[in-house]
Structure 1
Amino acid sequence: MTAAPPPRRVLITGGASGLGAALAARYAARGDRVLVTDRADTADVPAGATYRRLDITAEDDWTAARAAVRSEWGGLDVLVNNAGIAAGGRIDRLSGEHWRRVLDVNVLGAVTGCRTFAPLFKEQGAGHLVNVASAAGLVHSPAMTSYDAGKAAVVALSESLRWELGPWGVAVSVVCPSFFRTNLAASLDDDDPMMGQVATRLIARSRLGADEIAARVVRAVDAGTFLVLPDRDARIAAWTKRLARPLYDRQMRAMGARIRRAEQQPAPDRTEERSA
């Protein structure tokens, strides 16, 4: 029988809801010390966990969080860069502001977390960076350019840091789930409503919820796994692209063709609805 790992000191961003909240509950339930962070001033957290406001786009918030865990816990064992926003849309429908917002949150938020805690982990000679990306970081569907580009950057960041920080005893994991049931769709903007509706439907009909994904992520992190594909759909997509590229290319072309057909359809006539 495998012994349970010793209690760990864990900081989770975006921990007020969705996968972050599920991860916080998993870690707290087994006796780890958990600091849940999010942008709100207050939030409900699991028994045994504490809460701190942290905007991942604000460097001062990160610096203050590092000072807090150093003062209160004497260090940190696991940093989970989970916070992020959903995004999608056809390239000609996405504004420059959309791109800046998505990359600021989904890429630079994780980068700043890693920059902030890497010195502490190197000083300790131990630590684990867990960056939550997406299957979209490995498999790049049409009309998902901003989200795909951001999540691919997180995968690249994670792989680079794996080799850079490894000599100091620092582990790195990157988590790449496919769609699962969560409230992530609430962060979708309206730059391209058609693609937003598609993403919302895919999330809603997913077989797995955040709790199931969280359980698999915690086990993989405990095992020191670098690339975490916590669900079957993510594994199939990643391996299809790698091992069956012609099939993957056909699937992507078919998706692009469906998007073109949808654009060519006339907009629904709302005249009767307005006059009713």
Structure 2
Amino acid sequence: MKKVLITGGASGLGLAMAKRWASTGATVCVADRTEALAQATINAINEAGGQGHFVACDVTDDESLAAVKRYTDEHIGALDVLINSAGVPTAGSIEGESLKAWQWVLDINLLGCVRLAKLYVPDMRKNKTGHIVNVASQAGITSMPFMGSYNASKAALVAYSETMKLELSPFNIGVSVLCPAFVKTNLDKSLPEEQSDMQSVVTKLVERGTVSAEEVAEAAFKAVQNNKFMVITHADGGRIYSLKRWLPNFYFWLMAKKSKPFTVKGYENGA
């Protein structure tokens, strides 16, 4: 059976993916900073048909991640699938968003994945097998106003995933990048305190999600089976991405027109 490690897997999309892999009988280890959810996460994986493990993890801390690697080496063995799902949102205008917020989101959303890859790619390359799933976002391929740092972190993750796909393919290591639009999870509750004034806006966007975490988890599972690189989970997201690729001038005119009222209101409110 497959051996899977999922960062940020104690809730939301991460947990949905953990349960999907568990349904195949996989051994699933969740690495998450929320230790209070450890037993509930293990129980959910076991009840879904897998063998659950939990290890405390901070993807911004090298020592914490080294401890995760030691745990998986000892209790699980070489991974078949690494899923980088740990992530946080940020929101704010170009003028208003602090550099502290930029550094925070990049350290988690991008560099967290880089750190995990540096730990686990050597074993996968040696064994000439494995698959890495990086959870990016629709925001990484079609950006929105007032989400500059988040957009950039996810766009960088898409580019990094492309690099991984090319660099690791000679060693039979698959790479997928997941680009879901808004999904009804608790991601919006992770905004930094300094951006609390944007909470209601982000929550409304998340609540508009038309695809469930379970549906996104299924798409991620199939991507690994089929070695599919980019996974756009929302139909409207796929259409707007195609529009951007084939008719970029029209795309930017349309998006600017649609987002203008939201943008103007945001600046009027001091975002």
By how many angstroms is 1:169 displaced? 1.2
Q: Structure 2 counterpart of 1:62, which letter? A: L
Check conservation: 1:137, 1:151, Cα contact below 8 A: yes
**Separation (CA, whole Å) in 1 of partners of 2:113 and 2:144:** 22
Give yes or no for the alignment of 1:186 onto 2:189.
yes
**Separation (CA, whole Å) in 2 of partners of 1:12 and 1:261:** 39
Q: How does 1:158-197 map to 2 (within 5 A)?
A: 158-192=161-195, 195-197=198-200
Secondary structure, in 3 states, of the residue corresponding to 2:245?
Answer: helix
Structure having the higher Rg: 1
By how many angstroms is 1:41 displaced? 2.4
By how many angstroms is 1:190 displaced? 4.9
By how many angstroms is 1:216 displaced? 1.6
Check conservation: 1:90, 1:195, Cα contact below 8 A: no
1:120 corresponds in structure 2 to 123
Check conservation: 1:81, 1:131, Cα contact below 8 A: yes
Q: How does 1:84-123 map to 2 (within 5 A)?
A: 84-123=87-126
By how many angstroms is 1:191 displaced? 4.1
**Separation (CA, whole Å) in 1 of partners of 2:168 and 2:267:** 50
Check conservation: 2:223, 2:231, Cα contact below 8 A: yes
**One of 67, 72, 84 as aligned partner of 1:69:** 72
By how many angstroms is 1:193 displaced? 5.2
Check conservation: 2:2, 2:26, Cα contact below 8 A: yes
Secondary structure, in 3 states, of the residue corresponding to 2:110?
Answer: helix
Give yes or no for the alignment of 1:31 onto 2:25.
yes
Check conservation: 1:143, 1:195, Cα contact below 8 A: no
Q: How many residues are paired up?
A: 261
By how many angstroms is 1:155 displaced? 0.4
2:218 corresponds in structure 1 to 215
Check conservation: 2:145, 2:263, Cα contact below 8 A: no
Check conservation: 2:8, 2:33, Cα contact below 8 A: yes
2:84 corresponds in structure 1 to 81
Q: How does 1:12-51 map to 2 (within 5 A)?
A: 12-42=6-36, 43=38, 44-45=40-41, 46-47=45-46, 48-51=51-54
| TM-score, with structure 2 as normaliser | 0.90
By how many angstroms is 1:74 displaced? 2.7
Deviations 1:237-270 (A, max 9, x none): 2112112323311233225522453156579xxx
- Structure 1 window deviating more from structure 2 (73-82 vs 60-69): it is 60-69
Check conservation: 1:178, 1:233, Cα contact below 8 A: no
Query: Structure 2: which 5+ runs fail to align?
Result: none
**Separation (CA, whole Å) in 1 of partners of 2:135 and 2:88:** 11
**Separation (CA, whole Å) in 2 of partners of 1:266 and 1:28:** 46
Q: Structure 2 counterpart of 1:53, which letter? A: A
Does the C-alpha gap of structure 1 residues 195 and 127 become closer, same or farther in structure 2, counting only changes over 3 Å? same
Deviations 1:23-77 (A, max 9, x none): 0011111101100110022421221211111111111222222222222233111
Deviations 1:53-109 (A, max 9, x none): 111111122222222222223311100000000112111111111111111111111
Say what the alpha-carbon RMSD is for the aligned residues: 1.8
| TM-score, with structure 1 as normaliser | 0.89
Check conservation: 1:142, 1:252, Cα contact below 8 A: no
Deviations 1:112-168 (A, max 9, x none): 011111111111111111100001111122221100100011001100011111111
Secondary structure, in 3 states, of the residue corresponding to 1:92?
Answer: coil
**Separation (CA, whole Å) in 2 of partners of 1:264 and 1:102:** 22
Check conservation: 1:190, 1:196, Cα contact below 8 A: no
**Separation (CA, whole Å) in 2 of partners of 1:238 and 1:201:** 22
